[in-house]
């Protein structure tokens, strides 16, 4: 095991205390960001080559979705070895080089930790399958005897988040094992001391290499209710969990999970350099979610309530207020997230007839979003998101205004949710399509060959980086200006004060000396006094802000 300890150097230009409180964090989905070797799958050297692009964008940190050894049954969220880089993505040396470069450019690096389950190819699970019921090897997972005279029925009625039964049996095996996700992602038994010590070691492994933090996958799922009682609800990811706020289900949000994060926090705090954790937890209400970010637990949790909000002024105002209040109650920053690799890109959601609706993927026979309207709204939404106090997440391609691939043919799909629901759930492939860098190159410049693990739609040419770089008013240049102003006006560390807008479709608020106006309706509105800094669309001849547009004004 390589436990090389590196001297931790605080990234240049990243010396502010508790940096995560106001950070803009860019999510890289490694397989779709940039491909260096032409195999059609993005990789670590590809990321390193594009770091200067991210530096110019003005972000504070990157978060990398998993790049560890994996059979890729769930695009790397099925980890076979937590300390090895999958050859698809490069080597550990490639990782070190990437980290060093990112730090040299003043960017922090957060890696993904997947503690709820391993891959079925993980050595522990392989050993468990080769060991008899009741063995020490099986105790690290949740193996149970089945019900019925011959044990042919699953041990309880839990359903997988990806559809179908949450229990499977290996061929010829008498016992069942739990998997809240795909059958190739067996859930670990977090009551087992080996599991706890192994993950502390994994954390140390990456902390010693110099990472700045961890995004904790399925943070609300590690501990299950004792006895694994039946539950009639259906656990969901993107739309939240059914079953009422007070009853998330016996597989989620159990009290004992918090002790795990307290122990991890102690470990992170023993390292120099303000290492952090962000919880991926699909739970409601906000007051339950913010228990994960109490002062001795994680620093941040993704704000999925914000992601799930419709294009509606009253709804947005309510979620902003409830998010700020809930995080303030525990002294943590709020996060603002509009898109990620599990949800339809917001540019496309905002172009649906019910703007902001959250379908589980979009296929050619489903409602096709109005691309131009969705983009227009997404550009306006960036003014809102980046003006709010707290930390903001940007999903790769969002800065280009990239839409979802909404016509991907079924035979290209790879998301296990698509297969486990027999296509009823379209799945998440449409938001994971490789990025366009060059409009006129093969694979739109994603890599040096024409290969791309998912085909890119024709309209990606319009969004390519080279079509937008240096082009006044392009979404990329808009994001760059927004990020620069956000930094100059210290919006991330500021405070929000609502102002009354001149219509119920308008939201207006001050943060320090910057005023944001977002017009979610169709009719143009008069801007309040102030010096216009930036707007998502041109004002009309009378100087009014058109519909589905936003502006930032300087108050002094
Ligand atoms: C959440 C991840 O974001 C998602 O992509 C993955 O499928 C599940 N957790 C299971 O690890």
Q: Model confidence over 471-487: pLDDT tens digits?
A: 999 999 999 999 999 99
Q: Which of 280, 305, 399, 404 is catalytic?
A: 280
Is 351 within the bounds of a domain? yes
* b/e map 144-170, b = 16+ CB within 10 Å: bebeeeeeeebbbebbbbbbbbbbbbb
What is the DSSP pairing of strand 276-279 with strand 300-301? parallel
187 lines ligand 1 (CB under 6 A): no
Is 185 within the bounds of a domain? no
H/E element holding 372?
helix 371-387
The whole-number average pLDDT for the span 484-491 is 98
302 lines ligand 1 (CB under 6 A): no
State pLDDT tens for residues 342-351: 999 999 999 9
Q: Residue 5 pLDDT more than 50?
A: no
Instruction: Indicate if the alpha-carbon torsion angle 490, 493, 495, 499 is positive or negative.
Output: positive
Mutating to test ligand 1, I would choose from 218, 220, 427 the residue with most ligand atoms within 8 A of its C-beta, which is 218
Structural domain range at position 542: 496-554
74 lines ligand 1 (CB under 6 A): yes
The pLDDT of residue 232: 84
The pLDDT of residue 233: 80
Mutating to test ligand 1, I would choose from 76, 82, 119, 181 the residue with most ligand atoms within 8 A of its C-beta, which is 181
User: What's the rounded Cα separation, in Å, for the pair 440 and 467?
Assistant: 10
Is 2 within the bounds of a domain? no
The pLDDT of residue 280: 98
User: What's the rounded Cα separation, in Å, for the pair 278 and 245?
Assistant: 22
Domain boundary residue among 479, 514, 529?
479
High-pLDDT (> 90) share of the chain, %: 93
Domain boundary residue among 479, 511, 528?
479
In total, how many domains does the chain have?
Answer: 2
Helix (H, G, I), strand (E, B) or coil at 113: strand
Model confidence band, residue 549 (pLDDT cutoffs 50, 70, 90): very high
The pLDDT of residue 241: 46
Q: Residue 362 pLDDT more than 70?
A: yes
The pLDDT of residue 15: 52
Closest CA to ligand 1's atom 8: 77
Is 192 within the bounds of a domain? no
State pLDDT tens for residues 425-462: 999 999 999 999 999 999 999 999 999 999 999 999 99
Of 5-9, 149-153, 322-326, the poorest mean pLDDT is in 5-9
Model confidence band, residue 16 (pLDDT cutoffs 50, 70, 90): low
The pLDDT of residue 11: 52
High-pLDDT (> 70) share of the chain, %: 95
Residues 384 and 527 in one domain: no
Residues 508 and 536 in one domain: yes
Residues 22 and 54 in one domain: yes
Residues 104 and 40 in one domain: yes
Domain boundary residue among 454, 479, 504?
479
114 lines ligand 1 (CB under 6 A): yes
Q: Which of 78, 86, 182, 217 is catalytic?
A: 217
Is 280 known to be catalytic? yes
The whole-number average pLDDT for the span 406-423 is 97
User: What's the rounded Cα separation, in Å, for the pair 271 and 267?
Assistant: 7
Q: Which CATH number belongs to the domain containing residue 539 in this structure? A: 2.60.40.1180
Is 74 known to be catalytic? no
Residues 419 and 547 in one domain: no
Single pTM value for the model:
0.96
Q: Which CATH number belongs to the domain containing residue 104 in this structure? A: 3.20.20.80
State pLDDT tens for residues 71-130: 999 999 999 999 999 999 999 999 999 999 999 999 999 999 999 999 999 999 999 999
Is 399 within the bounds of a domain? yes
The pLDDT of residue 500: 84
Is 162 within the bounds of a domain? no
Distance 476 CA to ligand 1 centre (A): 28
- The candidate with the shortest Cα–Cα distance to 112, out of 67, 157, 164, is 67
| Per-chain mean pLDDT for the chain | 95
203 lines ligand 1 (CB under 6 A): no
217 lines ligand 1 (CB under 6 A): yes
Is 121 within the bounds of a domain? no
Is 138 within the bounds of a domain? no
> Which one is predicted more confidently, 450 or 238?
450
395 lines ligand 1 (CB under 6 A): no
């Amino acid at each position: 095991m390589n436990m090389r300890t590196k001297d931790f150097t605080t990234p240049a230009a990243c010396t502010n205390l508790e940096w995560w409180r106001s950070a803009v964090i860019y999510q890289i989905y490694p397989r779709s960001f940039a491909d260096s070797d032409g195999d059609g799958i993005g990789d670590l050297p590809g990321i390193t080559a594009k770091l200067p692009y991210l530096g110019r964008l003005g972000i504070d940190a990157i978060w990398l979705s998993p790049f560890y050894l994996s059979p890729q049954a769930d695009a790397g969220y099925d980890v076979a070895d937590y300390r090895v880089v999958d050859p698809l993505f490069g080597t550990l040396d490639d990782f070190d080089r990437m980290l060093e470069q990112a730090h040299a450019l003043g960017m922090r690096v957060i890696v993904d930790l997947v503690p709820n389950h391993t891959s079925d190819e993980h050595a522990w699970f392989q050993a468990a399958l080769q060991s008899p019921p009741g063995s020490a090897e099986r105790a690290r997972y949740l193996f149970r005897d089945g019900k019925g005279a011959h044990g042919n029925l699953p041990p309880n009625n839990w359903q997988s988040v990806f559809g179908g039964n949450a229990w499977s049996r290996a061929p010829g095996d008498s016992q069942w094992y739990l998997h809240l996700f795909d059958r190739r992602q067996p859930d670990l038994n977090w009551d087992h001391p080996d599991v706890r010590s192994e993950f502390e070691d994994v954390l140390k492994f990456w902390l010693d290499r110099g990472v700045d933090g961890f995004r904790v996958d399925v943070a609300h799922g590690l501990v299950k209710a004792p006895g694994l009682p039946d539950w009639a609800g259906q656990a969901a990811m993107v739309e939240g969990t059914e079953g009422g706020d007070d009853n998330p289900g016996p597989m989620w949000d159990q009290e004992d999970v918090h002790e795990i994060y307290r122990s991890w926090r102690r470990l992170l705090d023993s390292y120099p350099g303000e290492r952090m954790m962000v919880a991926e937890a699909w739970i409601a209400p906000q007051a339950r979610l913010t228990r994960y970010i109490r002062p001795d637990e994680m620093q941040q949790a993704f704000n999925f309530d914000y992601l799930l909000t419709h294009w509606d002024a009253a709804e947005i105002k309510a979620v902003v207020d409830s998010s700020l209040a809930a995080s303030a109650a525990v002294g943590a920053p709020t996060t603002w997230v509009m898109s990620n690799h599990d949800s339809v890109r917001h540019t496309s959601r905002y172009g649906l007839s019910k703007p902001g609706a959250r379908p589980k993927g979009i296929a050619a026979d489903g409602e096709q979003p109005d691309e131009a309207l969705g983009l227009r709204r997404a550009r306006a939404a960036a003014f809102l998101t980046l003006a709010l106090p707290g930390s903001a997440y940007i999903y790769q391609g969002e800065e280009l205004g990239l839409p979802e691939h909404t016509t991907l043919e079924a035979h290209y799909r790879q998301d296990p949710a698509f297969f486990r629901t027999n296509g009823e759930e379209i799945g998440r492939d449409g938001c994971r399509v490789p990025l366009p860098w060059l409009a006129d190159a093969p694979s739109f410049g994603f890599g040096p060959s024409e290969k791309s693990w998912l085909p890119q739609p024709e309209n990606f040419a319009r969004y390519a980086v080279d079509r937008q770089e240096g082009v006044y008013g392009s979404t990329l240049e808009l994001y760059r200006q927004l990020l620069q102003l956000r930094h100059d006006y210290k919006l991330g560390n500021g405070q929000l004060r609502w102002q009354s807008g001149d219509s119920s479709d308008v939201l207006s608020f001050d943060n320090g000396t910057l005023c944001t106006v977002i017009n979610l309706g169709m009719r143009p509105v008069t801007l309040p006094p102030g010096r216009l800094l930036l707007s998502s669309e041109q004002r009309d001849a009378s100087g009014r802000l058109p519909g589905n547009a936003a502006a930032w004004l300087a108050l002094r």
